[in-house]
Structure 1
Amino acid sequence: MAGRKWVKGLLAVVLALAMIFAPQAAMPASAAKSLSQLQKEQADLKKKQAEVAARLKTLKADKAQKQQYKAALDTQASTVQSQIDVLNQQINTLDADISQKESQIADKQKNIDANYEQLKQRLRALYLTGEASNLEVILSAKNVVDLADKTEAIQAITTHDTNLINTLKSDMDSIKAQKSEIETNRKSVAEARVALDTKQGELTSLVNETKAVIAEISQNESSANQENAKLAEQRKKADAAIDQWYKDYYASQKGTGGSGGYVSKGNFGWPLPGVTNITSGYGYRWGSLHKGIDISSAGVYGKPIVAADSGKVMMAGWGNYGTGYGGYGNVVAIDHGGGYSTLYGHCSSVAVSKGQTVKKGQVIAYVGNTGDSQGAHLHFEIRVNGVAKNPLNWFSR
């Protein structure tokens, strides 16, 4: 009797140890991170992509404005260059006029010097004749003819002296006026050169500003595009990680009844009866994969959505970021068994609950515009072992 008790006790210990050390099948061994961590990374990247996309849109608008600003700068620079050209012409004209007037002054100065020398000789001659006056010359005339000759000679000498003095005076006044004009022109040249320097500085500033505008546009666009490409690559890896997680998950769920015991053969029914218009197809857009199709038409809001196949509801309700359903709004996801699952997003409301078993064609939700949605539509996905596939592969249109 004691021996039997001892054997029973030994069996109990063995069974307990077996339960403790038995292999666990709930989570895939290949998943280095939990699904929630992967989904949170995916959601964060999607949010960052949206921010970069918005920034790129702003940059495009900003680029258009800056291109207009650059065009205005170019026009202004052209105007300033024209002003500089005019100032240079003015300076050249003034310099030429100054040179011409200085040459004229030099010629007149020669005439003045010659006439002045002639006048000095005339005065010297008068001085050497002593105190002889015009009256003495006239009284010394021998006869009337000699008197006429002497009178005419005196008048000629007097006229010559007067003309010589007047010429000297006129030339000196002309030189004085020309020198005044030269000084005025020199002042104008100096002012024009100051204005020229100012305009040259203004032109340099405009050119530098234009270059800076173009450099800023290029740098901002390049930076945003690089960031967008980097995020797209990270998003691609994050999507792949989640796809792999689902693949491993479905592999681990074989024979466990995760779909309520139903095993799908992939014979799916259309999820939105009476509405077949596809507004956005499956595939890459804006640097990421659109993992389903969008179905919509006029008056689609509130129409019933049906299960594409039988199975068990994996998710029903509002999809929060970090859960794998962020951005879908009100969403339903169904495990159909056989590695198949479907997802129905942006619903106005859901008609089932998580864990509920549903039949193919059963109403599960209603079309809406919730989550990251631009207008009422149904976002429909089909996954095989967790990897999103083009739903149209299962339908003929």
Structure 2
Amino acid sequence: MKLKTFYVRAAAAAAAALLFLYPFPAHAADSAALQGQVSAAQREYESAASTLDSMQQQASDTRQQVNDLQSQTDALRGQLGSIVAQLEQSRTELAEAQNQATAAAKALEEKQAAFSARYDSCKQQLTAMQLLNEGGEISLLMQADDLYELLTFWQVLNDLTEHNKQLLDELDAEAQALDTQRQQAEAAATQAEQAAQALQARQDELTQTQIQLEQALQQASTELDSQRAAAEAQAAVTEEKRKAYEQATAALDAYLKAQSQKYQDPARHCSLDFTCPLPSVGRISTYFGEPDAVYNKPHTGADMPAASGTLIYAVADGVVSAASTRPSYGNCVQIDHGTADDGSSYATLYAHMSSFCVSAGQTVHKGDVIGYVGNTGDVRGANGGYHLHLELRINGTRTDPLQYIPH
């Protein structure tokens, strides 16, 4: 229960209870008029309090929405931070891959240039050898002075040809290896670029979501501020209604206090020999002083569950000082039992009757039937069914009835 609701309902219960602090006549026109004013003020007060409750609940729901949006925004910012870090790392890797691809391409280009140069040299040598094959070679060999020189010269020509062939093969193999490295470096660069693009797309997506969340958060925060302002204004209205209710109750209380003098007789003796107000009491559903389930304030009497229509008895001799219907107590009866030997005055109140069968000013005796168990009035608590609400007042002060009255 909200704090303001507690104060609103507690004040309403307390004000309604004041109606029976003093005895009053059942058919007084002035009392009825004042009671009408109290009832109207109470309805306006409770309506304002209910509206305030709704506004506070709405503000609470919006506050939760703001908290949820803030949590989502914070989480998204964390994701964005991680994505940005990954993107920076990916861009670094992309730059390295691109550098490696560039270096591989350059190395391949240089190796291809070396191959071309060597190839041109070999072609020149092959051209010269071709000329030798056309006659120059035999002429050159015939210039040898002996067989050793001839064989040596021939071996040199063969070695030169084999060397050129081997060198070209090596250059070609190196070029192929470099081309493979270049392709791998370019593939790595392409992969790194795709990864960077994917991270950039994810960053763009999260950034857009963040913008939407921040807009929703701003809207909810603005709405919350508006709801809080409206609730504060409604709280002021509720406070005015509470004051009006208290004023109406005070006026009725003053009137009832004056009227109650008719039924007070200091000479009437109270023997304190009380009896149970019901044929039997199976249990007590709410004890005196126990926090009330609706108003969360100390209970002013004892609640005794019983079947509808169960007889209710006067617990002792006395005079009926009130027999009427009131918003909180419903159909109720109050009996003044007089003054005990210790000088204290005693009175009992029986509330939530389905109906009563006595009237104000009537003398009753211990055990007389005064009404029947019901559930009239305000019975919204845990014991909202049929029951008797019994109160005992000593010198006008509510006291635990179970300490004096058998049950």
TM-score normalised to structure 1 length: 0.62
Paired residue secondary structure (1:192): helix
Q: Does the 8 Å contact 1:264/1:310 carry over to 2?
A: no
Matched, 1:375 2:380: no
> Which residue identity lines up with residue 301 of structure 2 in the other structure?
I
Q: Does the 8 Å contact 1:232/1:287 carry over to 2?
A: no
Give the aligned partner of residue 390 of structure 1. Answer: 398
CA distance in 1, matches of 2:352, 2:132: 136
Q: Does the 8 Å contact 1:283/1:291 carry over to 2?
A: yes
Structure 1 unaligned spans of 5+: 1-25, 320-324
Which residue of 332, 357, 363 corresponds with 2:362? Answer: 357
Farther-moved stretch of structure 1 (122-131 vs 339-348): 122-131
Matched, 1:112 2:104: no
CA distance in 2, matches of 1:334, 1:57: 43
CA distance in 2, matches of 1:365, 1:265: 23
> Which residue identity lines up with residue 332 of structure 1 in the other structure?
V
Q: Does the 8 Å contact 2:311/2:372 carry over to 1?
A: yes
Matched, 1:158 2:172: no
Residues 241 and 341 of structure 1: CA distance in aligned 2, closer, same or farther (over 3 Å):
farther
Q: Does the 8 Å contact 2:316/2:337 carry over to 1?
A: no
Aligned positions of 1:43-122 closer than 5 A = 43-46=43-46, 49=49, 81=78, 85=82, 87=83, 91=87, 94-122=90-118
Per-residue deviation at 1:88? Answer: 5.4
Matched, 1:175 2:182: yes
Residues 52 and 215 of structure 1: CA distance in aligned 2, closer, same or farther (over 3 Å):
same
Give the aligned partner of residue 7 of structure 2. Answer: none
CA distance in 1, matches of 2:285, 2:267: 25
Which residue of 327, 341, 351 corresponds with 1:345? Answer: 351
* Aligned length, in residue pairs: 350
Q: Does the 8 Å contact 2:308/2:373 carry over to 1?
A: yes
Q: Does the 8 Å contact 1:278/1:293 carry over to 2?
A: no
Per-residue deviation at 1:292? Answer: 3.4
Paired residue secondary structure (2:376): coil
Paired residue secondary structure (1:375): coil
Residues 289 and 348 of structure 1: CA distance in aligned 2, closer, same or farther (over 3 Å):
same
**Residues 36-69 of structure 1 deviation map (CA, whole Å, 9 limit, x = unaligned):** 2123212443465577679989999x79xx69x9
Per-residue deviation at 1:194? Answer: 1.0
Residues 119 and 39 of structure 1: CA distance in aligned 2, closer, same or farther (over 3 Å):
closer
Per-residue deviation at 1:365? Answer: 0.8
Matched, 1:272 2:277: yes
Farther-moved stretch of structure 1 (293-302 vs 191-200): 293-302
Aligned positions of 1:250-329 closer than 5 A = 250-251=257-258, 254=261, 258-259=262-263, 267=270, 269=274, 272=277, 275=281, 277=284, 279-281=286-288, 292-296=300-304, 302-306=310-314, 310-312=318-320, 314-316=322-324, 319=325, 325-329=326-330
Residues 301 and 224 of structure 1: CA distance in aligned 2, closer, same or farther (over 3 Å):
farther
CA distance in 2, matches of 1:190, 1:213: 34
Per-residue deviation at 1:170? Answer: 4.0
CA distance in 2, matches of 1:222, 1:248: 40
Residues 369 and 123 of structure 1: CA distance in aligned 2, closer, same or farther (over 3 Å):
same
Matched, 1:38 2:44: no
CA distance in 1, matches of 2:158, 2:197: 58
Per-residue deviation at 1:378? Answer: 1.8
Per-residue deviation at 1:349? Answer: 3.1
Give the aligned partner of residue 17 of structure 1. Answer: none
Q: CA RMSD in A?
A: 5.5
CA distance in 1, matches of 2:40, 2:400: 29
CA distance in 1, matches of 2:392, 2:243: 18
Per-residue deviation at 1:136? Answer: 2.0
Residues 240 and 181 of structure 1: CA distance in aligned 2, closer, same or farther (over 3 Å):
same
CA distance in 2, matches of 1:129, 1:327: 125
CA distance in 2, matches of 1:280, 1:213: 46
CA distance in 1, matches of 2:195, 2:371: 87
Structure scoring higher RCO (CA < 8 A, sep ≥ 6) equals: 2
CA distance in 1, matches of 2:229, 2:122: 97
Farther-moved stretch of structure 1 (227-236 vs 363-372): 227-236
Give the aligned partner of residue 192 of structure 2. Answer: 185
Residues 201 and 287 of structure 1: CA distance in aligned 2, closer, same or farther (over 3 Å):
farther
Per-residue deviation at 1:293? Answer: 1.0
**Residues 345-390 of structure 1 deviation map (CA, whole Å, 9 limit, x = unaligned):** 11133223x45623243321122333332133222356799xx731
> Which residue identity lines up with residue 163 of structure 2 in the other structure?
A
CA distance in 2, matches of 1:280, 1:53: 28
Paired residue secondary structure (2:128): coil
Farther-moved stretch of structure 1 (105-114 vs 125-134): 125-134
CA distance in 2, matches of 1:158, 1:193: 52
Farther-moved stretch of structure 1 (241-250 vs 212-221): 212-221
Q: Does the 8 Å contact 2:90/2:196 carry over to 1?
A: yes
Per-residue deviation at 1:253? Answer: 6.2
> Which residue identity lines up with residue 372 of structure 2 in the other structure?
Y
